[in-house]
């Protein structure tokens, strides 16, 4: 049985925190132990890389650790699934890697392959297989355009990593590359012993920092700790304050407005209303007019929401420009839409150091939901539902996300996704202190229920 066992549902909603932590340990173990030494980035392996360099660009195929954090995680996760056997893991660690193939489902590595001079490691969801080079007789394309390895005993093994449309389209090139490495008709195969000697005497991999850094966050089960119990008490107090604030809005707070929000579509119940021209920092502006007319763009909406009862913020210039230029991302229909606009190196610490510079790109976040509130259009004056989510990431930072849609997640669930940083703000916590919070616009969100 593989790393995740039968309980792992790739893309499902019931994956346990224990399994997620195992996934984290496995991924970071491969990265930090430098198990994958690609010939492209290993001193002394230049001649080996020359054999395969012309095949760079093949789909789902990696010839080095990607600089993109999301893809690096896929590579390390695929390796962790292929190398659950310690003997096989040691074999790869003591050798070099020609290339790695990985298919994905919902961003999780599934079918894969690692090619090393000693042979081919191929895998399905729950089992792995090592085929030594000396046992390989032929590599061919079957009637379904999948790749097959025929061994000298007459048996064939399907390369499951080829079971993807984009790989099948390039099947001939894969066969050409694999035959060059494992069963060349003229017998001119790389000298394995010489490779080992070169790696041992000269091999120093020129990896990027991503290969050894903390690249993947665990789902930390903090539910039984003393601090967790204190946090629950604090969150309970905070919820009471929020309920009081909402009730105050409903009953009409202050002398200038006693209108019930259910009586007027112009009073949102979310942004504080007033009879003055400068109500909520947006009344009388083009943004408020656009919202009320139903013609609001994402920029109009997030500017309109900036002065609210939960946590106010001010759009940075970069965020305002991004919202104007890419309205189709708020919300996005798929995560693929967000990829090209995402800087995978942005973290909370970068924004806290220079808040005014944020907002020019999307960032990827992961964490647990502390609080989540869904507001209907009747309560906000907007055309679509608004979900406000307060997230604690795995470094203990607080992130508030305003998401212009509904999402089937609840307090305590795990969440990840693409967001646009809008501002670094703060709110008054239950102990009358100030909690710093990164405010974001949600582009594409996903998660798991617990």
pLDDT in tens, the chain (450 residues): 332 232 332 333 333 455 566 677 778 888 888 889 999 988 878 888 988 999 999 999 999 998 888 888 889 989 988 888 888 899 998 889 999 999 876 567 878 999 999 999 987 545 568 999 999 999 999 988 989 999 999 999 989 888 888 899 999 999 999 999 998 877 677 777 777 666 665 554 544 434 444 455 555 444 444 445 455 555 666 666 666 666 666 555 444 333 332 333 333 334 433 333 333 333 336 655 555 555 689 998 999 888 776 778 899 999 999 999 999 999 999 888 998 899 988 888 889 888 888 889 999 998 889 889 888 887 777 888 999 999 988 788 999 999 999 998 888 888 888 999 999 888 776 666 788 899 999 999 987 655
Same domain? 296 vs 415: yes
Structure confidence at residue 107 (pLDDT): 67
8 Å CB contact between 300 and 323: no
Same domain? 119 vs 230: no
CA distance 195 to 119: 13
Q: Shortest CA distance to 302 belongs to which of 403, 449, 185, 410?
A: 403
Please check whether residue 8 lies inside any domain of the structure.
no
Structure confidence at residue 277 (pLDDT): 32
Same domain? 88 vs 235: no
Please check whether residue 164 lies inside any domain of the structure.
yes
SS3 state at 153: coil
Same domain? 231 vs 202: no
Structure confidence at residue 272 (pLDDT): 37
CA distance 300 to 380: 14
CA distance 67 to 209: 9
Same domain? 407 vs 259: yes
Please check whether residue 220 lies inside any domain of the structure.
no
CA distance 326 to 324: 6
Please check whether residue 221 lies inside any domain of the structure.
no
Structure confidence at residue 15 (pLDDT): 37
E strands in 52-124? 61-62, 99-105, 108-116, 119-123
Please check whether residue 12 lies inside any domain of the structure.
no
Same domain? 265 vs 340: yes
Task: Please count the structural domains in the chain.
Answer: 2
CA 291 to chain centre: 32
Same domain? 263 vs 359: yes
- CA distances in angstroms from 368 to 281, 393, 434, listed in the order given: 31, 6, 21
Strand partners, 364: 418
Same domain? 299 vs 268: yes
Structure confidence at residue 151 (pLDDT): 94
8 Å CB contact between 64 and 41: yes
CA 402 to chain centre: 18
Structure confidence at residue 284 (pLDDT): 39
Structure confidence at residue 73 (pLDDT): 87
Instruction: Output the six-digit token pair for 327.
Output: 């309205």
pTM, 2 dp: 0.51
Please check whether residue 270 lies inside any domain of the structure.
yes
Structure confidence at residue 1 (pLDDT): 31
Q: Shortest CA distance to 346 belongs to which of 336, 361, 330?
A: 361
φ/ψ of residue 115, rounded to 5: -105, 120
Structure confidence at residue 186 (pLDDT): 72
Q: What angle do CA 263, 264, 266 make, to 5 degrees?
A: 165
Please check whether residue 7 lies inside any domain of the structure.
no
Same domain? 257 vs 198: no
Please check whether residue 1 lies inside any domain of the structure.
no
Same domain? 401 vs 284: yes
Same domain? 326 vs 375: yes
CA distance 54 to 127: 31
Structure confidence at residue 235 (pLDDT): 60
- Write down which residue in 211, 234, 251 finishes a domain: 211
Same domain? 187 vs 280: no
Instruction: Output the six-digit token pair for 427.
Output: 């709110």
Domain that includes residue 98, residue range: 17-211
Structure confidence at residue 181 (pLDDT): 93
Tell me whether residue 77 is exposed, middle or buried, using C-beta atoms within 10 angstroms of its C-beta: 0 to 12, 13 to 18, 19 or more: buried
Structure confidence at residue 236 (pLDDT): 64
Structure confidence at residue 306 (pLDDT): 85
């Amino acid at each position: 049985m593989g790393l995740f066992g039968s309980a792992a549902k790739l893309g499902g909603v019931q994956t346990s925190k224990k399994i997620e932590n195992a996934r984290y340990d496995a991924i970071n173990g491969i990265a930090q132990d430098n198990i994958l030494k690609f010939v492209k980035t290993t001193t002394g392996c230049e001649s080996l890389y020359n054999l395969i360099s012309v095949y760079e660009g093949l789909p789902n195929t990696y010839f080095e650790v990607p600089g993109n954090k999301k893809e690096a995680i896929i590579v390390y996760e695929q390796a962790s699934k292929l190398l659950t056997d310690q003997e096989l893991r040691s074999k790869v660690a003591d050798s070099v890697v020609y290339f790695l193939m990985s298919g994905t489902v919902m961003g999780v590595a599934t079918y894969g392959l690692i090619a090393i001079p000693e042979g081919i490691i191929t895998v399905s969801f729950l089992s792995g297989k090592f085929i030594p080079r000396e046992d390989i007789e032929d590599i061919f394309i079957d009637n379904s355009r999948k790749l097959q390895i025929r061994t000298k005993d007459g048996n064939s093994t399907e390369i499951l990593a080829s079971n993807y449309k984009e790989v099948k389209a390039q099947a001939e090139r894969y066969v050409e590359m694999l035959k060059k490495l494992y069963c060349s008709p003229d017998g001119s195969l790389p000298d394995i012993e010489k490779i080992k000697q070169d790696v041992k005497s000269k091999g120093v991999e020129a990896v990027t920092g991503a290969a050894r850094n903390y690249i993947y966050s665990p789902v930390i089960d903090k539910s039984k700790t003393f601090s967790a119990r204190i946090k629950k008490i604090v969150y309970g107090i905070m919820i009471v304050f929020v309920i009081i604030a909402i009730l105050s809005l409903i009953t009409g707070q202050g002398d200038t407005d006693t209108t019930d929000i259910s009586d007027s579509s112009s009073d949102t119940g979310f942004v504080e209303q007033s009879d003055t021209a400068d109500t909520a920092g947006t009344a009388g502006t083009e943004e408020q007019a656009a919202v009320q007319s139903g013609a609001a763009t994402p920029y109009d909406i997030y500017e309109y929401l900036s002065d609210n009862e939960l946590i106010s913020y001010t759009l940075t210039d970069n965020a305002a420009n991004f919202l104007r230029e890419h309205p189709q991302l708020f919300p996005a229909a798929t995560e693929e839409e967000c990829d090209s606009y995402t800087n995978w190196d942005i973290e909370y610490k970068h924004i806290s150091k220079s808040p005014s510079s944020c907002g020019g790109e999307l960032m990827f976040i992961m964490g647990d939901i502390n609080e989540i509130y869904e507001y209907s259009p009747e309560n906000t004056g907007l055309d679509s539902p608004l979900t406000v989510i307060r997230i604690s990431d795995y470094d203990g930072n607080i992130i508030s996300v305003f998401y212009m849609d509904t999402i089937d997640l609840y307090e305590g669930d795990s969440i990840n996704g693409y967001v646009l940083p809008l501002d670094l703000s703060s709110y008054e916590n239950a102990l009358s202190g100030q909690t710093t919070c990164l405010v974001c616009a949600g582009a594409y969100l996903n998660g798991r229920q617990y």
